[in-house]
Amino acid sequence: MLTETPASKVNALRRCFEGGETRPIAWRQKQLAALESMLRDNEAAIFEAMATDLSKSQTETYATEIGLLYSEIRHARRHLKSWMKAQRVSTGLHNLPGKAWTKPEPLGVVLIIAPWNYPLMLALSPLIGALAAGNCALIKPSEMTPSVSRLLAEMVARSFSRSVVQVVEGGVEETTQLLRERFDHIFFTGSEAVGRIVMRAASEHLTPITLELGGKCPCILTSSADIKVAARRIAWGKTLNAGQTCVAPDYLIALPGTSEVFKREFTRQIKSFFGEDSQNSKSYPRIVNDQHFDRLARMLSEESISYGGQSDREDRFIAPTLLENLPVDAPALTDEIFGPILPVIEVADLKEAIDHINARPKPLSLYLFSNDTDEQRRVAEATRSGTMLINDVVMQFGTTTVPFGGVGSSGMGQSHGKASFDAFSHHKSIMRKPFWGEVKLRYAPYTKRQERLIRLLFGR
């Protein structure tokens, strides 16, 4: 709950920013070092909070939350000096003897609204970019992962001045109050429906936003692929965090000759990951709450299950599941799944697969398993998606040098690495001209001769 008004929190951050102390590289490096130390000092507590909220194993928590953050921090600290440098740009002949450059400047006070599925990483990854760019930040973690939310608030309070970073816990009411305040940037990760609410609120102050949303991420499997490797990688991506991943493969489009082999190999890989009964595996997470469990359970119609389908509401467990022969209006084919359920659709050829994708909203990510360079080129050129990954899933998200973001209903803006720095920066253009070298060509009264010269100057 808010123990002080949102305005007072934002004002404390704004006073720090307007005082100018966030601009030097030394301040930014200090904040990034403090963030890294905060994570190292609290690893055990983070493991415990993740296990409480999502039943995540220590290994998965490190790989998908803490480790990715360490990598982002190191990358930012290593490259920050070059990111902050001014960049010379051409002025054009008509501005000679002037000089021009662009200079990245911090935006000010930013709001980061984080989701529940990766509650630590998706709160702190944007913070890395915000601090590297010289901003002050307010973080709103998800109330659906209360243990992580509480721990995040405690860690930030111990590690940062309240004039630099603050955390506001709570639910819809607290988020609504925060969105009434003026921020200089809002970074939101979550559903398309809530993204629309955030965008409307931001428009009241003309606040720029980054939206990382979701959608149905398709996965195409062609006969040229190594289906055994494809099945292993898809099974991993679909069960990571029990499928509660915005870039998880949402459904499989199987080309002729692939479906039966894939289903057999997928089943074998799931058993190799989690044993005969995945509910007894310590490596298999749980669904975040009863509401999401019930939503997923409604997708499990017996006549469509080709593998898996077991569930336990009390344990919030849903087994890795393959669905097939679904009607076109089935929820698993129309709604974002966000769980360990993989529908399989069979198509006649690659054109039908491409047409199926293009008839739907642009996905956050698109996956293609193919060893044919012509197939790779055709899919890359004929489809639109936030990111595309060939012969793997999810791994593009954890690569700091690869910008990540959606397009259309799957989001706007990009993050990770320098893209995060740029998202929280304004690249101000500066041009300087001396008092000498005055050219009278631009001044009235105008003559035909001036017009001819101006046309030559602009290349016409």
Question: 90 and 226: one domain?
Answer: no
Gyration radius from the chain CA atoms? 25
Per the structure, the complete domain to which residue 171 belongs is given by 6-213+411-427
* Catalytic residue status for 136: no
Residues 205 and 328 in one domain: no
Same structural domain, 374 and 310: yes
pLDDT tens string for the chain (460 positions)? 446 788 899 999 999 999 999 999 999 999 999 999 999 999 999 999 999 999 999 999 999 999 999 999 999 999 999 999 999 999 988 888 999 999 999 999 999 999 999 999 999 999 999 999 999 999 999 999 999 999 999 999 999 999 999 999 999 999 999 999 999 999 999 999 999 999 999 999 999 999 999 889 999 999 999 999 999 999 999 999 999 999 999 999 999 999 999 999 999 999 999 999 999 999 999 999 999 999 999 999 888 999 999 999 999 999 999 999 999 999 999 999 999 999 999 999 999 999 999 999 999 999 999 999 999 999 999 999 999 999 999 999 999 999 999 999 999 999 999 999 999 999 999 999 999 988 888 899 999 999 999 888 887 6
Same-domain status, 176 and 320: no
Query: Does the residue 243 lie in any domain?
Result: yes
Alpha-helix residue ranges (DSSP H) falling in 359-441: 373-382, 418-423
Angle at 213 between CA 212 and CA 215, to 5 degrees: 140
Question: Does residue 97 have a cis bond before it (omega within 30 degrees)?
Answer: yes
- Is 196 within the bounds of a domain? yes
Residue owning tokens 């990766």 = 118
CATH assignment of the domain containing 303: 3.40.309.10
Place of tokens 């469990």: 293
Tell me which residue of 393, 404, 400, 418 sits closest to 71, measured CA to CA.
400
Catalytic residue (choose from 36, 169, 212, 265): 212
CB atoms within 10 A of CB 373: 10
Tell me: do 132 and 186 sit in the same domain. yes
What does the DSSP assignment read for 88-129? EE---GGGTT-EEEEEEEE-SEEEEE--SSSTTHHHHHHHHH
Residue 261: the pLDDT is 98
Count of domains observed in the chain:
2
Instruction: Output the pLDDT for position 286.
Output: 97
Determine if the pTM surpasses 0.85.
yes
Q: Active site includes 212? A: yes
Same domain, 78 and 106: yes
Is residue 171 one of the residues assigned to a domain?
yes
Give the closest residue to 430 by CA, choosing from 91, 133, 80, 93.
91
Per-residue pLDDT at 460: 65
Partners of 389 in the β-ladder: 367
Residues 343, 376, single domain; the answer is yes
**C-alpha 289, offset from chain centre:** 22
299 and 398 inside one domain: yes
Residue in 272, 262, 239 with CA at minimum distance from that of residue 57 = 239
Does some domain include residue 437? no
Token pair of 200 as six digits = 């409307």
For position 1, what pLDDT does the model report? 46
Task: Clarify whether residues 19 and 158 are in a common domain.
Answer: yes
Flag whether 59 is in a domain.
yes
Catalytic residue, chosen from 246, 265, 324, 336, is: 246
**Cβ-Cβ contacts under 8 Å for 64 (sequence gap 6 or more):** 118, 121, 240, 241, 398
> Cα angle at 391 between 308 and 372, to 5 degrees?
120
DSSP-derived letter for residue 363 is P
Q: Does residue 146 have a cis peptide bond before it, meaning omega lies within 30 degrees of 0?
A: no
Same domain for 400 and 418? no
Looking at the structure, do residues 121 and 75 belong to the same domain, yes or no?
A: yes
